[in-house]
Amino acid sequence: MSRVYNFSAGPAVLPEEVLREAAEEMLDYNGTGMSVMEMSHRSKAYKEIIETAEADLRELLGIPDNYKVLFLQGGASQQFAMIPMNLMKNGEADYIVTGQWAKKAYQEAQKYGKANKIASSEDKTFSYIPDVSDLPVSENADYVYICENNTIYGTKYQELPNTKGKILVSDVSSCFLSEPVDVTKYGVIYGGVQKNIGPAGVVIVIIREDLIMEDVLEGTPTMLKYKTHADAESLYNTPPAYGIYICGKVFKWLKRQGGLEAMKKYNERKAKILYDFLDESRLFKGTVEKKDRSLMNVPFITGDEELDAKFVKESQAAGLVNLKGHRTVGGMRASIYNAMPIEGVEALVAFMRKFEEENL
Ligand SMILES: *Cc1c(COP(=O)(O)O)cnc(C)c1O
């Protein structure tokens, strides 16, 4: 067996310790004589798994009691519809468009009400985060929507927008649990777990209780109401049971690493190695404004498409995989999520140095 350094944007690298534990428990979970995959979601053993997962997540993020934690399905993309369906009381919301995912959410919201694009960075291929300190927030807006870390472009909000009293809704798919967060600044925080937490198939929604209502957009399916899942503690129907179990193991792993403060420091150390190299390299360069750089997704180019393709091919052969940039932007992208060890980033930079020497 040999493991590679996997720089995929998602589904992405998971902690090896977690994978080993899951492997050990595959045939017999904790004396039950069955795999978690084979277990009733109403069983005592599973109840403990999901409750422990929620408790650990609450502890990691310091989630206040007046917020619900929901384990849902449908990917982050399903939230693009659920959010307006459940939260657009006035039929209006403001969107800040900083990449493809924010744009998709903005476009989806237009189906359910008036969605206003109050800022965008599309003019420069989403290579920066616009100034969000004094935006023309709409008087009637039910919420202001952001995508906090832009997975494809590699930018991240360093400061949250001034929403002028409106509720903030944030897609944190690709920066979930990468650093401490003040949950009270948000109405809704959500993300697909397949970027920085667990296997595809689970979406975590952290939502302030007063935003969960019966009275949502007419015709909203039962399964798309937050209230349905909140009332049933995420067990209205069969949840993505195995995925939640793995997420729970990752939460325990994060606690063993020292929690989110420690994770942030580690992520900063890792990203610095790569960004410092990009800033001094004569061949490679980063593609986004320095002040807005993401700690999680690092896009870079040589400026020559053929050389980029050669780099992707040779890095793959060297055990550094999935470095090809998103199909809409080209170049390269290294996703260096929580579970990417620092040795992986060091190996990448060593490889880049060697490639630079050979190709300049
Ligand atoms: C990947 C991603 C999505 C889409 O996630 P799905 O689970 O595939 O729907 C949405 N937002 C962000 C920020 C992402 O990185």
pLDDT one-digit tens code per residue, 74-126: 999 999 999 999 999 999 999 999 999 999 999 999 999 999 999 999 999 99
Residue 1 has pLDDT above 90, yes or no: no
pLDDT at 87: 98
Residue 249 has pLDDT above 80, yes or no: yes
pLDDT at 328: 80
Q: Which atom of ligand 1 is nearest to the CA of 200?
A: 7
Residue 160 has pLDDT above 90, yes or no: yes
The residue segments making up the domain with residue 42 are 16-256
Annotated active-site residue in 68, 101, 225, 270: 101
| 279 and 139 in a common domain | no
Residue 83 lies in a domain: yes
Residue 258 has pLDDT above 90, yes or no: yes
253 is catalytic: no
Residue 284 lies in a domain: yes
pLDDT at 206: 99
- How far, CA to CA in Å, does 317 sit from each of 39, 313, 331? 40, 6, 17
Chosen domain end from 200, 233, 256: 256
- How far, CA to CA in Å, does 155 sit from each of 9, 125, 178, 179? 14, 11, 14, 15
252 is catalytic: no
Residue 193 has pLDDT above 90, yes or no: yes
Annotated active-site residue in 68, 156, 166, 195: 195
Domain total of the chain: 2
| 174 and 109 in a common domain | yes
pLDDT at 144: 98
Residue 1 lies in a domain: no
Chosen domain end from 196, 222, 256: 256
| 298 and 216 in a common domain | no
Chosen domain end from 256, 290, 309: 256
Residue 7 lies in a domain: no
State the amino acid at position 104 in one-letter form: K
Which residue out of 83, 101, 177 has the highest number of ligand 1 atoms within 8 Å of its CB and is therefore the one to mutate? 101
CA–centroid distance, residue 308 to ligand 1 (Å): 25
Residue 33 has pLDDT above 80, yes or no: yes
| 90 and 31 in a common domain | yes
- How far, CA to CA in Å, does 191 sit from each of 22, 101, 179, 204, 322? 23, 12, 14, 6, 22
| 168 and 266 in a common domain | no
H/E element holding 251? helix 241-256
**2 falls in which pLDDT band (50, 70, 90)?**
confident
